[in-house]
């Protein structure tokens, strides 16, 4: 399937979720500052503390959900299942145990289940934010888990599209 060029399709606003564990927050804020111009063209949401830091640093609106350990990761996961998040940037700390590790695993799992682009570190975030697909009308395909509940390898609709 050919990828539309930015001249074929107008740029769309992505709904970008930003999450970072404590030891990674400064790195995500720095990355966000470096990419402020791109992020400003999209809708941002984040877990509580991370969202507050990013909103203050970027002077941009960020919808702040609960802190990760208080259910923020689960809130973002819920939004993913509803088609209300298009891209997840989650700087997580693989060397530090988290009290909410099951929630972290659930968030990453649900992002994969719904075919969401995910960046788990600065390098992968750089690739996603600079992708020509982000700057075109591209929409990842959303699996139809009702029609194929055993693992939809055949996506049916773009993320954010109303279910049929």
Catalytic residues: 73
Q: Please enumerate in sequence order all residues whose Cβ is within 8 A of that of 147, keeping only pairs 6 or more positions apart, or say none.
A: 156
- Compute φ and ψ for 52, nearest 5 degrees: -60, -45
3-state helix, strand, coil in the chain (%, to 5): 40, 15, 45
CB 18 within 8 A of CB 28: yes
As a whole number of angstroms, the distance between CA 127 and CA 109 comes to 21
For 29, 98, 106, 107, the CA distances from 14, given in Å and listed in that order, are 19, 29, 22, 19
């Amino acid at each position: 399937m050919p990828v539309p060029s930015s001249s074929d399709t107008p740029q769309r606003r992505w709904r970008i979720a930003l999450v970072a564990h404590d030891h990674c927050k400064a790195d995500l804020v720095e990355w966000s500052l470096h990419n402020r111009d791109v992020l400003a063209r999209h809708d941002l949401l984040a877990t509580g503390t991370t969202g507050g830091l990013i909103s203050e640093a970027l002077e941009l609106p960020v919808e702040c959900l609960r802190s990760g350990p208080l259910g923020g990761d689960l809130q973002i996961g819920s939004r993913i299942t509803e088609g209300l998040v298009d891209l997840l940037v989650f700087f997580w700390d693989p060397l530090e145990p988290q009290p909410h590790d099951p929630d972290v695993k659930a968030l990453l799992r649900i992002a994969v289940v719904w075919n969401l682009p995910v960046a788990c570190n600065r390098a992968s975030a750089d690739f996603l934010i600079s992708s020509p697909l982000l700057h075109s009308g591209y929409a990842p395909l959303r699996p139809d888990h009702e029609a194929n509940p055993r693992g939809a390898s055949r996506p049916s609709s773009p993320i954010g599209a109303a279910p049929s």
